[in-house]
Amino acid sequence: MGLVFAVSGLPAAGKGEFAAILADAGIPVRSMGDMVRAEVKARGIPEAPHVFGEVATQLRAEYGEDVLAHRLVDAVDELLLDNQIVLIEGLRGTAEREVFTNHWGDLFKVVAITASKDLRFERVQSRARSEDGDLSDLEARDKRETGWGLDVIIREADFSFSNESDLIDLHKRVSAWLDNL
């Protein structure tokens, strides 16, 4: 069986960029955020910055803090049949990490992407996603996600990348890391 990595980080730290680098290297990626976006769409809720967090919180309250992880495990196992590495984008909670650790054991590793709040807010303003908003929205997301244990996951990650520079620098460092796996 291959390796499963989960990338974690505060909003706009660079999880998506990390995932894009791995995807460009031929590694399949499954996004936990895409699962929430799909749930919002399935419920027919108009997209707004607060909606995605509310739906993620509702899912966790209704089905457990680890609901997204349980929904994702089989899809990742299927990908492992034909791939040596699979990436899960957007690990946000300790309950999710526990599901993955229990399922894949030592074959599961966490990667943290970090960036300052000021830089993350600049990125939020430039990317214009429907879940992004103003600085207070970013701070509310940070608070909600650290409430799920994101700060613990980042602190205890197996690998960590500071993303305070440009995409070229991140790409070089992540590519070198991949080459050394």
What CATH code is carried by the domain that includes residue 162? 3.40.50.300
Domain with 176, as residue range(s), is 3-180
In order, the DSSP letters of 101-166 are: HHHHGGGEEEEEEE--HHHHHHHHHHH--TT--SHHHHHHHHHHHHHTTHHHHHHT-SEEEE--S-
Between residues 133 and 4, which one has the greater pLDDT?
A: 4
Q: Model-level pTM? A: 0.89
pLDDT recorded at residue 3: 97
What domain count does the chain have?
1
What percent of the chain is predicted at pLDDT more than 90?
A: 72
Q: What is the mean pLDDT of residues 1-20?
A: 94
Confirm if 32 and 138 have CB atoms less than 8 A apart: no
